[in-house]
Homo-oligomer: A and B are copies of this chain.
Amino acid sequence: MIYLDNAATSWPKPPAVAREMARCLQEYGANPGRSGHKMAVKAAEKIFECRENLAAMFGAENPLSFVFTANATGAINLALKGLLRPGDHVVYSSMEHNSVVRPLKRLEAEGVELSLVQADEEGKVHPADLAKEIRKNTRLLLVTHASNVTGTVNDVKAISCLAKEHRLIFMVDASQTAGSYPVDIGGLKADLVAFSGHKGLLGPQGTGGLYIREGLHLATLVEGGTGSLSENLLQPEFIPDRYESGTLNTPGIAGLNEGLKYLLQIGPEQIHARKKQLEKELREGLSDIPKVRIFGQGDPGVGVVSITLAGKDCQEVCGELDEKYHIAARGGLHCAYLAHKTIGTKHTGTVRFSLGTFTTPQEIEETLQAVKIISRS
């Protein structure tokens, strides 16, 4: 199996991920932050260790600024619904995933105002275009760090400066970049950063999180038991308890922690450089195939390459890649209709290849061969 669907979920994981999840169930499978017995304390320590590694990974100061959620979608919903009130205005881009667009549309129905900024045909969002939409009641500026359709990376540093200049809250959706492309929260001065645990960070599904800048107070999305201040019938005010109701996914977080440790040990820069090289080879190889059209501006490193083949249905191409060549790619709209509308593929979708930490040059070569043969048929 050549797995090129890492933008959905990375595979394989470092062996330590499954090993630590099993160890968690065996050795510290109790509730973190509830009881005071040894197994519960050990579970709580593991959760904190993961927060520390997230802080190390993203260059953030306070490990308690990271809140765990079930996935990036949960993090985005918490951020948007925790922050926005009727009358607030949001500027966002046409490259956002449905995990951003659908909650925004829900909020719009409740009185939040939205301005959609069109990215260029390569999928790039220009700060000047964002700036034009800023109004008196603008509260949030929100962009994806990199598109899950084209891999196009936005200049989040420049966009952050724009947000600061206008005293706006700045939020980044780092689902596609966390672990794949450097996300420097400290340098970026983002207020909110949502991320997946099961993509570039190499953790298992069921993990994700939200970085919340210290001092930024959000309304809660979910209230419940936190193991703290149980006599209070209202949600605690302090982080991270305020945003983490109910039992956390300790085995998942223990697995994510191993993914982070693996990345930090090898060095995210090295992983990024390696992926960049492979992506370059894939892009170049694909561009030599006559019927292939590549989308996006090619900022290699995110590991996402979307193509169409003239005269071919994308789902059928993916079916053939899977059945005949054991290559896992994803065809369709990738839960990001506006992005496909932007790059002109709203009716066709694309065939998306997404590279992972463990993708090999041999796999890229075999994929290129397969696409070549399919393109000729």
Seen from chain A, the residues whose Cβ lies within 8 Å of a Cβ on chain B are 1, 3, 5, 8-9, 11-13, 17-18, 21-22, 25-26, 29-31, 34-40, 69-74, 76-77, 97-103, 105-106, 196, 198, 204-206, 208, 220-227, 230-235, 245-252, 315, 318-319, 321-322, 326, 328-338, 346
Contact = CB atoms under 8 A, between A and B. Distances in A.
30 contacts: A3-B30, A5-B35, A8-B40, A9-B29, A21-B22, A30-B328, A34-B330, A37-B321, A37-B328, A69-B70, A71-B246, A73-B224, A74-B222, A74-B246, A76-B224, A98-B230, A99-B224, A103-B222, A105-B223, A204-B249, A205-B252, A206-B206, A206-B249, A208-B246, A221-B221, A226-B335, A230-B333, A231-B333, A231-B337, A232-B337
Contacts of A98: 224-226, 230, 233
Given A222-B103, A336-B230, A249 B25 contact: no
A26 B9 contact: no
A25 B227 contact: no
B36 A315 contact: yes
A57 B223 CA distance: 28
Contact of A40 (B245, B246, B328): B328
A307 to B, nearest CB: 15
Nearest to A341: B231
B225 A73 contact: yes
A306 to B, nearest CB: 14
Nearest to A349: B230
A102 B5 CA distance: 40
Given A9-B31, A70-B70, A230-B332, 13 more contacts: A5-B30, A5-B37, A5-B40, A18-B25, A22-B22, A29-B205, A36-B331, A37-B322, A101-B233, A102-B233, A102-B235, A105-B223, A105-B234
A14 B152 CA distance: 45
A331 to B, nearest CB: 7
Pick the 6 closest A-B CB pairs, nearest first. A206-B249, A73-B246, A225-B335, A73-B224, A99-B224, A71-B246
Nearest to A330: B35
Contacts of A227: 335
A29 B12 contact: yes
Contacts of A336: 225, 230
Contacts of A5: 30-31, 35, 37, 39-40
Which interface residue of A40, A71, A76, A246 has the most chain B CB atoms within 10 A? Answer: A246
B246 A318 contact: no
A29 B11 contact: yes
B8 A223 contact: no
Nearest to A206: B249
A233 B77 CA distance: 15
Contacts of A338: 233
Given A9-B29, A103-B222, A315-B36, A70 B77 contact: no
Contacts of A9: 29-31, 247
B8 A247 contact: yes
A247 B198 contact: yes
Contacts of A332: 230
Contact of A251 (B204, B226, B231, B326): B204
A322 to B, nearest CB: 4
B11 A77 contact: no
A222 B331 CA distance: 25
